Amino acid sequence: MSNQHSEQALSWRRLYLSRAKLKASSRTSALLAGFAMVALVEISLPKELPGALIMCFSVITILLIVTHLFALLVSTCILPNIEAVSNVHNIHAVKESPHDSMNTYIEMSWIASTALGILLFLLEIMVLIWIQFYENYKKAGWVATALLIPALLSVCVFAYHFYHKLVTHKYKSYNTTIDELDDLATELQKNGTETPMVQDV
82-96: pLDDT as tens digits = 888 877 766 666 777
Q: Kindly tell me if the per-residue pLDDT of 57 is higher than 80.
A: yes
- pTM of this structure: 0.71
Stretch among 15-24, 67-76, 186-195 having the lowest mean pLDDT: 186-195
**Which superfamily does 2-192 belong to?**
Calcium release-activated calcium channel protein Orai (1.20.140.140)
How many angstroms separate the CA atoms of 174 and 45, rounded?
54
Q: Kindly tell me if the per-residue pLDDT of 200 is higher than 60.
A: no
Q: Kindly tell me if the per-residue pLDDT of 195 is higher than 50.
A: no
**How confident is the model at residue 89, as a pLDDT?**
67
Residues 6+ apart with CB under 8 A from 82: 15, 18, 19, 22, 97, 98, 99
The CA angle 169-172-173, to the nearest 5 degrees, is 85
How many Cβ atoms are within 10 Å of 3's Cβ, its own excluded?
13
95-112: pLDDT as tens digits = 777 777 788 888 888 888
Q: Kindly tell me if the per-residue pLDDT of 196 is higher than 60.
A: no
pLDDT band per the 50, 70, 90 thresholds, residue 173: low
Instruction: Check if the beta carbon of residue 26 is closer than 8 Å to that of residue 72.
Output: yes
